[in-house]
């Protein structure tokens, strides 16, 4: 019996369908934490950089990666954790940032705060708290529509 292993591009496609457990509107690929996919002999090696070393979702992310690849026939799998260089919001895809905004979360901005409200697009926003629903988000409010929203902090 001759079997062919999936291409690396197939694997990237499968991983693009795995949602972030804390923000399910974006994938792990959108988030930019999948750093590399390669075959090492007959073992598929996936390199993952957590958003920060204490991220509580890291274990769930690894389980979801493994499940997505096993359902596609990957038997020999190695998940490699890479913490250097550290993850930054610069690694997020533009598509991922757009998905965040459509979902109601202001995407990270280098200036240190959201440019506009993700609900009504007003530029009149104010910070409520540096701490949001997860450690990577802060709580903001629009002074026009008065809706609160999360802002994905720049890291």
Domain positions in the chain are 8-87, 90-152
pLDDT digits (tens, 9 = 90+) for 21-45: 989 999 999 999 999 999 999 999 9
Rounded mean pLDDT, 56-65? 94
Count of CB atoms situated within 10 Å of the CB of 36: 12
Report CA torsion sign: 129, 54, 79, 72: negative
Give 55's pLDDT tier (boundaries 50, 70, 90). Answer: confident
Rounded mean pLDDT, 57-68? 96
pLDDT of residue 114: 96
pLDDT of residue 3: 62
Tokens of 25: 């509107």
Query: For domain 8-87, which CATH number applies: 3.40.50.2000, 2.60.40.10, 3.30.300.130, 2.40.50.140?
Result: 3.30.300.130
Give 2's pLDDT tier (boundaries 50, 70, 90). Answer: very low
pLDDT of residue 1: 41
Question: Which DSSP symbol is given to 142?
Answer: E
CA angle at 21 for the pair 91 and 48, rounded to the nearest 5°: 45
Give the integer Cα–Cα distance in Å for 91 and 144: 31
Give the integer Cα–Cα distance in Å for 88 and 73: 32
Q: pTM (2 decimals)?
A: 0.87
Give 111's pLDDT tier (boundaries 50, 70, 90). Answer: confident
CA angle at 42 for the pair 68 and 10, rounded to the nearest 5°: 40
């Amino acid at each position: 019996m001759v079997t062919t292993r999936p291409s690396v591009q197939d694997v990237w496609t499968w991983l693009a369908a795995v949602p972030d457990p804390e923000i399910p509107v974006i994938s792990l690929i959108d988030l930019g934490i999948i750093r590399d996919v390669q075959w090492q002999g007959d073992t598929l090696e996936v390199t993952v950089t957590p958003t920060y070393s204490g991220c509580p979702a890291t274990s769930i992310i690894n389980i979801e990666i493994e499940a997505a690849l096993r359902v596609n026939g990957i038997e020999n799998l190695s998940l490699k954790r890479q913490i250097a260089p550290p993850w930054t919001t610069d690694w997020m895809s533009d598509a991922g940032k757009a998905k965040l905004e459509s979902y109601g979360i202001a995407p990270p901005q280098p200036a240190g705060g959201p440019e506009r409200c993700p609900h009504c697009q007003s530029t009149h926003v104010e910070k409520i708290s540096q701490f949001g629903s997860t450690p990577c988000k802060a709580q903001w409010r629009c002074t026009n529509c008065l809706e609160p929203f999360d802002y994905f902090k720049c890291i």
